[in-house]
């Protein structure tokens, strides 16, 4: 499994940005023959949470191992602390970045499928909000959307005190942004009315997580709107053990095939002697 760091000049963010890419191009069998060519690869765009960066998922979970087993490409950008929304005046259009530009750019760079049913987005906490918000806004691009411990509480009246100044982030006053496409509730209603294809949704939250009630509320919203929803609620807090377990469950939920690992440093063929 190749782990590649990409740096490219982003028009949406007006600067050079780092991205980690997991790409299953280097697989071969124990007899020395190449593994079957799985290109173009199904792709998961995977978003980190608050205080993190593009390295978080590789260092905090076993995503590289599990992606390799399934011939899945995984693209992990940095979202800073910007909640993956657009702030055009500051040249910080993170929604456009993850929802359009990054998809187009990585498809030009790597042998990735351009089919909606092969293109997925997921994230944790802030990244869970970003995945859901942009997965809904760019539903023509993403066939499956997964949010883990998602920060879906930001537009609630009872979010007091907020962890960050959302107005300073560029969201604006809540009385205005509640009716904008920064609010996933608005996007759910728009998709329901538009009759466009809805992405499949996976939501998960730990029972010891402070965001549990807001995730339960969105569970009900998605169900009432007619989305194909998978919901998981179980022991765990807002921490990496929960997300490590859940990202494996997300990969099991996605329409992927178990392709086998092939030769790697953790699978050197001793069991086959």
Q: What is the pLDDT of residue 259?
A: 65
**Average pLDDT for 254-263:** 76
Indicate if the pLDDT at residue 158 is higher than 80. Answer: no
Most confident of 16-30, 148-162, 186-200: 186-200
State the pLDDT confidence band at 176, using cuts at 50, 70 and 90: low
Q: What is the 3-state secondary structure (H, E, C) of 227-257?
A: CCEEEEEECCCCCHHHHHHHHHHHHHHCCCC
Q: Mean pLDDT for the chain? A: 90
Higher pLDDT, 8 or 89: 8
**Average pLDDT for 207-223:** 97
State the pLDDT confidence band at 164, using cuts at 50, 70 and 90: low
48 contacts 247 by C-beta, under 8 angstroms: no
State the pLDDT confidence band at 33, using cuts at 50, 70 and 90: confident
User: Cα separation of 34 and 176, whole Å?
Assistant: 56
Global confidence as pTM:
0.92
Q: Which fold has domain 2-272?
A: Rossmann fold (3.40.50)
């Amino acid at each position: 499994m190749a782990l590649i760091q990409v740096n490219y000049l982003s028009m949406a963010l007006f600067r050079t940005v780092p991205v980690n890419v997991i790409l299953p191009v280097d697989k071969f069998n124990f007899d020395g023959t190449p593994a079957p060519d799985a290109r173009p690869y199904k792709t998961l765009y995977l978003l980190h949470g608050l205080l993190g960066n593009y390295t978080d998922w590789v260092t905090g979970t076993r995503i590289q191992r599990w992606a390799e087993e399934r011939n899945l490409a995984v693209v992990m950008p940095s979202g800073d602390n910007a909640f993956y929304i657009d702030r055009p005046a500051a040249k910080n259009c993170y929604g456009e970045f993850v929802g359009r530009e990054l998809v187009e750019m990585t498809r030009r760079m790597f042998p990735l499928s351009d089919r909606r049913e092969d293109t997925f987005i997921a994230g944790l906490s802030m990244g869970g909000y970003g995945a859901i918000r942009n997965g809904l806004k760019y539903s023509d691009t993403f066939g499956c959307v997964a949010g883990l411990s998602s920060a879906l509480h930001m537009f609630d009246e009872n979010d007091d005190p907020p962890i960050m100044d959302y107005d300073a982030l560029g969201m604006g006053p809540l009385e205005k942004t509640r009716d904008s496409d920064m609010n996933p509730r608005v996007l759910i209603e728009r998709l329901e009315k538009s009759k466009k294809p809805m992405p499949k949704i996976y939501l998960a939250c730990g029972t010891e997580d402070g965001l549990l009630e807001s995730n339960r509320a969105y569970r009900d919203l998605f169900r009432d709107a007619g989305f194909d929803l998978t919901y998981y609620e179980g022991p765990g807090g807002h921490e990496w053990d929960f997300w490590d377990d859940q990202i494996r469950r997300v990969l099991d939920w996605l329409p992927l095939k178990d392709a086998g690992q092939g030769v790697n440093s953790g699978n050197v063929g001793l069991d086959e002697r």
